[in-house]
Chain A
Amino acid sequence: MEALTNRVKVMERKPMTFVEKIYLWNIMKGMMITLKHFFKKKATIKYPEQKRPFSPVWRGLQILNRDEEGRERCTACGLCAVACPAEAITMEAAEREPGEENLYREEKYAAKYEINMLRCIFCGLCEEACPKDAIYLSETFTPSNYTRESFIYNKSDLLIPDPKTDPQGFAKARGNRAKKEEV
């Protein structure tokens, strides 16, 4: 068969010369490369003492957002779960009762909300689908762990601090991205 591309490289099978046979020269060449790297800028950092900044468009661990009054924004519409290609999100909804208006923004809220971080591929489609500004991928990653069970994140893991009791924690957990969207 004729070659389809011109990338064929014909192997040379000459016998090695003496210098090549003792490998010394090639070892030296390799050592030189190693030596050169001593004087180059390091590509790694000493995590966790040093940390790299996350890009503002980094798609990291999800947070569930609250509004300025500390009410949960999520209304369990299920759009994130239907958008999720990994089927990582599950939820169960409940009706807000009189007296719970300070907890939930809407008549309906997510009583249970879970993301299976083992399934999540951090595509960010849940954030895009949410009509209520309720879910954001934050600028951090999902921490590693020893058990599978610890990757099922429920609402208490995902909800960010209440701005009324912990304004700093709220601002920090919300990160930069959520703020920009708000006008």
Chain B
Amino acid sequence: MADEKKMMKVTIDNITIEVEPGTSILNAARQIGGEVTPPAMCYYSKLKGSGGKCRTCLVEVAAGSTADPRPMPKLVASCRTNVMDGMVVKNITSEKVIDARKGVVEFLLINHPLDCPICDQAGECSLQDLGYSHGSDDTRYEFPRRTFEKENIGPYIQLHMTRCILCYRCTYVADQLTNERVHGVLDRGDHSEISTYISKAIDNDFSGNMIDVCPVGALTDKTFRFKNRVWFLKPLDAHRDCPTCCGKVTLWNRGDEVYRVTARKDQWGEVEEWICNTCRFEKKNTSDWIIEGPTKVNRHSVISQGHYVGLKMPPETLKRVMDGRDPRILMEIHDVSGVNKPEIHLSELPGPAHSHDFLEKDVTRAEEYPGHVPQTLADVDAKTDSR
């Protein structure tokens, strides 16, 4: 029994757990799980040295340890503070923490644009979740927000500097996953920004993982840009034999088209295993993958909307009463609709669609159906006035 490690007892929000020495408060709380886990915007368990930047994980330490039970004078960042034996931590039970976190969210949002409607991260954005659960619903900031010159960082990754919260996760990916880092944080304070020197393109084999680690929409997939909203896509677990990476991914499909490939994420929104750029950007055919089944999506996520899991379809009666004949389809929607045309494959475009990708003009109902009754109130009035 000599080599058994001494476990440390720590109490978080009145729940006591034993953890190994050297565990951070955040990780101890994650072992408990659920509500007591502080949110984390910059800490990433798979990236060494991450954490300590964003301050969303602040907790109150009510008693330092059994040996020294004085409380810590200030709130501490739980991702960077290790547990001590007999430590008592307050997270959601502490008014101070809730208030401080509200302040942190306000600071994170000070320069953040109101971009969610056009942001590809919307629906899976940690900042949205954080703002929703911990922020106030108003802003007190009246000054112009910082803006940046748009910078092109290569064909695969789209950088929106205005949305960046400077969590440094992407630079750690570059440092730890790829052999050489060509981008980093320039300048300081309010001016700091993620950039590559002389816009040098990021073309490392694993650089695409920055997209997954970015908690906000600052780094997004350019091959998926504006193609669809994540909640209209169908996430599927799939894998392939990849010589460079594990090949285990989540496909985001509409019908049979693969719109996006991402790594699989765990319950903390962290990547389970890194994937390579070939898997992420080049393999956009369902035939490239062996599909395992639908990804389990948290019921509270907007992504789960419209995914009718466990649905039991009632038996089709029409065919039975019609002596086995199929009912006649009165309208084939693809003949009328301009959306999701079978001959246009959005997923095959290298980047976002542009006006020239939709050359076919919309025909108004009035043009196509001359007998059509006019549509707006103004038209109806005009028609009856002239009578």
Q: Which residues of A contact B (CB under 8 A)?
A: 48-49, 51, 54, 60-61, 63, 75-79, 81-82, 87, 90-95, 97, 100, 106-108, 111-114, 131-132, 138-140, 142-150, 152-157, 160, 169, 172-173, 175
Contact between A111 and B353 (Cβ–Cβ < 8 Å)? yes
Q: What are 16 contact pairs spanning A and B, CB under 8 A?
A: A49-B384, A79-B117, A82-B306, A92-B339, A95-B351, A107-B118, A111-B353, A114-B338, A139-B377, A140-B375, A140-B377, A140-B380, A145-B371, A152-B336, A153-B375, A173-B377
Instruction: Decide yes or no: A82 and B346 within 8 Å by CB, A143-B373, A153-B365 being known contacts.
Output: no
Contact between B363 and A90 (Cβ–Cβ < 8 Å)? no
**Cross-chain contact of B353 among A93, A107, A139, A144 (Cβ < 8 A):** A93
Instruction: Decide yes or no: A82 and B352 within 8 Å by CB, A149-B369, A172-B378 being known contacts.
Output: no
A155 to B226, CA, bound (A): 18
Closest chain B residue, CB of each to CB of A93: B226
Q: Which residues of B contact A112 (CB under 8 A)?
A: 338-339, 358, 362
**Cross-chain contact of A147 among B116, B305, B361, B369 (Cβ < 8 A):** B369
Q: Which residues of A contact B227 (CB under 8 A)?
A: 93
B138 to chain A, nearest CB (A): 15
**Cross-chain contact of A146 among B225, B346, B371, B377 (Cβ < 8 A):** B371
Closest chain B residue, CB of each to CB of A168: B378
Contact between A94 and B117 (Cβ–Cβ < 8 Å)? no
Closest chain B residue, CB of each to CB of A89: B339
Q: Which residues of B contact A172 (CB under 8 A)?
A: 376-378, 381
**Cross-chain contact of A108 among B226, B355, B373, B376 (Cβ < 8 A):** B226
Closest chain B residue, CB of each to CB of A118: B331
A130 to chain B, nearest CB (A): 9
Contact between B369 and A150 (Cβ–Cβ < 8 Å)? yes
Instruction: Decide yes or no: A78 and B352 within 8 Å by CB, A90-B339, A149-B369 being known contacts.
Output: no
B387 at the interface (CB under 8 A from A): yes
Majority SS at the chain B contact face:
loop
B364 at the interface (CB under 8 A from A): yes
B213 at the interface (CB under 8 A from A): no
Closest chain B residue, CB of each to CB of A48: B384
B237 to chain A, nearest CB (A): 23
A61 to B379, CA, bound (A): 13
A116 to chain B, nearest CB (A): 8
Contact between B376 and A138 (Cβ–Cβ < 8 Å)? yes
A78 to B231, CA, bound (A): 9
**Cross-chain contact of B374 among A90, A91, A92, A143 (Cβ < 8 A):** A143
B354 at the interface (CB under 8 A from A): yes
Contact between B226 and A175 (Cβ–Cβ < 8 Å)? no
**Cross-chain contact of B340 among A49, A90, A142 (Cβ < 8 A):** A90
B109 to chain A, nearest CB (A): 16
A58 to B301, CA, bound (A): 33
Instruction: Decide yes or no: A97 and B354 within 8 Å by CB, A82-B302, A140-B377, A148-B331 being known contacts.
Output: yes
A173 to B362, CA, bound (A): 20
Q: Which residues of A contact B117 (CB under 8 A)?
A: 75, 77, 79, 106, 131-132
Instruction: Decide yes or no: A157 and B364 within 8 Å by CB, A106-B118, A150-B372 being known contacts.
Output: yes
A60 to B358, CA, bound (A): 29
Contact between A145 and B229 (Cβ–Cβ < 8 Å)? no
A161 to chain B, nearest CB (A): 8
A136 to chain B, nearest CB (A): 11
B119 to chain A, nearest CB (A): 9
Q: Which residues of A contact B228 (CB under 8 A)?
A: 78, 93
Q: Which residues of B contact A92 (CB under 8 A)?
A: 339-340, 346, 353, 358
B267 at the interface (CB under 8 A from A): no
Among B355, B361, B374: residue with most chain A CB under 10 A: B355
Q: Which residues of B contact A155 (CB under 8 A)?
A: 362
Q: Which residues of B contact A77 (CB under 8 A)?
A: 116-118, 122, 229
**Cross-chain contact of B229 among A82, A139, A153, A175 (Cβ < 8 A):** A82
Closest chain B residue, CB of each to CB of A140: B377
**Cross-chain contact of A51 among B229, B305, B363, B384 (Cβ < 8 A):** B384
B15 to chain A, nearest CB (A): 36
Instruction: Decide yes or no: A150 and B118 within 8 Å by CB, A78-B232, A91-B339, A95-B354 being known contacts.
Output: no
B368 at the interface (CB under 8 A from A): yes
Among B117, B374, B376: residue with most chain A CB under 10 A: B376
Q: Which residues of A contact B362 (CB under 8 A)?
A: 112, 154-157
Q: Which residues of A contact B241 (CB under 8 A)?
A: none
Q: Which residues of A contact B358 (CB under 8 A)?
A: 92, 94, 111-112
A74 to B368, CA, bound (A): 25
A127 to B9, CA, bound (A): 53
A81 to B330, CA, bound (A): 24
Contact between A94 and B354 (Cβ–Cβ < 8 Å)? yes
Q: Which residues of B contact A61 (CB under 8 A)?
A: 375-376
Among A63, A79, A142, A154: residue with most chain B CB under 10 A: A154
Q: Which residues of A contact B346 (CB under 8 A)?
A: 92
A51 to B368, CA, bound (A): 27
Q: Which residues of A contact B122 (CB under 8 A)?
A: 77
A157 to B380, CA, bound (A): 14
